[in-house]
Amino acid sequence: MAYKYLNLGLAGYPNTTKEQIVNGFQAFLDDQFYNSSTIQTIYEETSFASGSLVAVDARVNRAINSTNGVRLGDDFKILLFKNVTHATGIGYKYYFANNYWITTFSESIMNLGVSCMVRRCNELLRWVGTDGTYYEEPCALEYKIDRPSDTSGAENPVTPQGYFDCYSQLNYKTQLIEGNQRFLFGKPNNRVCFKIMGSGVQNMLRQSTLDENSARLLTISLRGNYINNDTDDLVLGIADKYKDYNIFMSASMVGSYSIVINPPTDYILESGSSVYNVQYYSGSVAQSGSFVFTISGSSVPVANYTFATIDGNNFSVVNNEKWLSNTLDIIASGSSGSRILEIELKGAW
């Protein structure tokens, strides 16, 4: 006997067991979701990395056992949402309790309930791009600084150590962050500087295997570095604020000018040398103006390099012997501004 009418039903009613279960669960959430003391109105981005926030109700629950001392209970929360189709995932950003929060763990793929673990952002990444644009992004710093010691030797200067990871949303701003970039953290009267290690940018963990643009969480690994009073803005906490861009205004120079150093290569191989040219530019047109070139607070031993000023627009550097602990920092100072060039003294290759 054929039951050809078995799957017929009224429009809008579920036809499968799965649909019945999903609809039943959603109905249960609609009825019971607000019966909880953990209900809070929080703010989430209207779409991923949009920066625009909208209010949404969520249950905010404890995420970890705060008695173990490894993580602070107030820094990790579980968010549960009312709608089974609510969008969330790794890297999503929220705001509540006077803090930004970023998703570091989620359970939304093939899962009936929608929840995620968020981590409190306890610092800001602040930097200036090469075009002079200021950026900032909430971030979460690990608590512990590994190997917080200095290294020194009979002939080598003391160099800072100390390593930790930093997490932030991977968006149009933070995707510009590169290895060896420096950041300032801490209070204005006692800033501390950390520098991304050369291979310390983790931006390739895709959320969709075949979509190379689907990574949403940026992890950077930083190590201790020096404060540079010539290029760092210690008041606003912006490292290299005066390094990567310069805009000058004076009575004799009207408009926007930049300092350009050529070649743009920032390293010299061992036993090699390079001559650098420094010019003011207005757009793509070189302008007149000379500079004074000096070594800026460098801890590179003087025996490892030979530095010479050729004229007011050119200088040369010879790499006598590799030095991998720090860069050779050279300031080009002109009547209308200055720029610093960090040169790596690499090995033979």
**Residues 85 and 71 both lie in one domain:** yes
Dihedral pair phi/psi, residue 302, rounded to 5°: -65, -25
**CATH number of 291's domain:** 2.60.40.1080
**Residues 284 and 336 both lie in one domain:** yes
For residue 251, tell me if it sits in a domain.
no
Dihedral pair phi/psi, residue 17, rounded to 5°: -60, -40
For residue 51, tell me if it sits in a domain.
yes
Q: How far apart are CA 124 and CA 231, in angstroms?
A: 19
Residue that is last in its domain, among 198, 224, 250? 224
**Residues 56 and 104 both lie in one domain:** yes
Q: How many domains does the chain have?
A: 3
For residue 248, tell me if it sits in a domain.
no
**Residues 275 and 182 both lie in one domain:** no
Question: Which residues in the chain show pLDDT less than 70?
Answer: 1-14, 65-71, 131, 147-161, 244-257, 283-284, 297-298, 349
What integer pLDDT is reported at residue 94 of this predicted model? 95
Q: Which of 169, 170, 231 is nearest to 195 (CA)?
A: 231
**146 contact partners, CB below 8 Å, separation of at least 6:** 162, 163, 164
For residue 247, tell me if it sits in a domain.
no
Q: How far apart are CA 167 and CA 91, in angstroms?
A: 9
**Residues 108 and 151 both lie in one domain:** no
Residue that is last in its domain, among 63, 87, 120? 120
In this prediction the pTM is 0.64
What integer pLDDT is reported at residue 161 of this predicted model? 63
Dihedral angle over CA of 330, 333, 336, 342, nearest 10: 0
What integer pLDDT is reported at residue 297 of this predicted model? 64
For residue 241, tell me if it sits in a domain.
no
**Residues 133 and 113 both lie in one domain:** no
**Residues 40 and 94 both lie in one domain:** yes
**Class of residue 327 by CB neighbours under 10 A (exposed 0-12, middle 13-18, buried 19+):** buried
H-only helix segments in the chain: 17-32
Q: How many CA atoms lie within 13 A of 326 on its CB side?
A: 26
Could you read off the pLDDT of 210-255 as tens digits, one per residue? 888 889 999 999 998 888 887 888 988 999 887 744 433 332 233 4
For residue 236, tell me if it sits in a domain.
no
For residue 242, tell me if it sits in a domain.
no
**CATH number of 99's domain:** 2.40.10
Q: How far, rounded to the nearest angstrom, does the alpha carbon of residue 316 sit from its chain's CA centroid? A: 33
**Residues 80 and 65 both lie in one domain:** yes
In terms of residue numbers, what domain contains 339?
258-345
**Residues 109 and 182 both lie in one domain:** no
**Residues 294 and 314 both lie in one domain:** yes
Could you read off the pLDDT of 127-154 as tens digits, one per residue? 988 767 788 999 999 988 776 555 544 4
Using CA of residue 76, residue 82, residue 88, residue 94, what is the dihedral sign? negative
For residue 330, tell me if it sits in a domain.
yes
**Residues 217 and 292 both lie in one domain:** no
**Residues 290 and 217 both lie in one domain:** no
Residue whose pair of structure tokens reads 């009936």 in the numeric block: 112
**Which pairing describes strands 267-268 and 337-345: parallel, antiparallel, or unpaired?**
parallel
